[in-house]
Amino acid sequence: MILTDSHCHLEAADFRRDDGGDERPDVVARALAAGVERMICVGSGASLAEVENAVQFAERYPSIWAAVGIHPHDAKNVTDAILGRIEALAAGHPRVVAVGETGLDYHYDHSPRERQAEVFRAFVQMARRTGKPVSLHLRGKEPRELGDAHADAKRILAEERVDEIGGVVHCFTGTKEDAVRYVELGLHISLSGVVTFKSASAIREAAAWVPAERLLVETDCPYMAPIPFRGKRNEPAYVVHTARFVADLRGVSLEHLAEVTTANANRLFRLES
């Protein structure tokens, strides 16, 4: 069985041993031992430091590839120089397989929504120029009347012709109706440990519906650990628990779900099989 963690963050600050050493080699070893043989390390934080970390990690491990972008929380800090460096990596680095994460976050509104939309468009345009899929972070307010990030994202994605390059809505937290529209736009849906939470009935409804050829699984580590690790630091090995939950939800074996989602990741990110 081979599983793919389609979205993980592996920053040194999040994976320190008690003695101060870097735990990440052990984290990768545990993932491989659990059958998680492919990981997309996302460099998308407050600055280029996270971007460079993801690329360096992908250079270091043959089981890891990188996605590069700036999180919508930090859209207000994005400059032309930052966009230029990220585009150069997306266009020219052999271990960079996606642009992002990018998108809209109306839950926290750490950056003005107008600026989030501008940067979001810039990254989708970059993805089209470089021929790389986009990794999307989309989170709205509740109730939606306070800010429907999904509605705005669907409009922007259609206007920017995302169907020409494809991508994935990572850590999906929308409804079945949202999932239907994203699939119509040519996107994949990636499920994180959130789908295992008791409060996630709408996400589970969407997870049961998603066409098999558009389904991915992820950890979004170090966040969103699935049950039975909820509240603890997440890591790529734990994607097995999310995959097992989704497999049970869809009435298939874990082995089948692993095979399908890994094939989907290989195709979307153009990984060698």
One digit per residue, pLDDT tens: the chain, 273 residues?
999 999 999 999 999 999 999 999 999 999 999 999 999 999 998 889 999 999 999 999 999 999 999 999 999 999 999 999 999 999 999 999 999 999 999 999 999 999 999 999 999 999 999 999 999 999 987 767 666 999 999 999 999 999 999 999 999 999 999 999 999 999 999 999 999 999 999 999 999 999 999 999 999 999 999 999 999 999 999 999 999 999 999 999 999 999 999 999 999 999 975
CA distance 108 to 139: 9
Number of neighbours of residue 272 by Cβ within 10 angstroms:
5
Question: What are the residue ranges of helices labelled H in the chain?
Answer: 24-33, 48-60, 80-92, 113-130, 149-159, 176-184, 201-209, 239-250, 254-269
Q: For residue 136, give the H/E element and its range.
A: strand 134-139
CA distance 125 to 69: 13
Helix 80-92 to helix 48-60 angle, to the nearest 10 degrees?
10
In this prediction, residue 162 carries a pLDDT of 98
In this prediction, residue 146 carries a pLDDT of 61
Residue with the two structure tokens 């929380």: 73
Query: What Å distances lie between residue 159 and 154, 155, 163, CA to CA?
Result: 9, 6, 10
In this prediction, residue 45 carries a pLDDT of 81
Q: pTM score, two decimals?
A: 0.96
What is the DSSP track for 59-77? HH-TTEEEEE---GGGGGG
Domains in the chain, CATH or no CATH each: 3-269 (3.20.20.140)
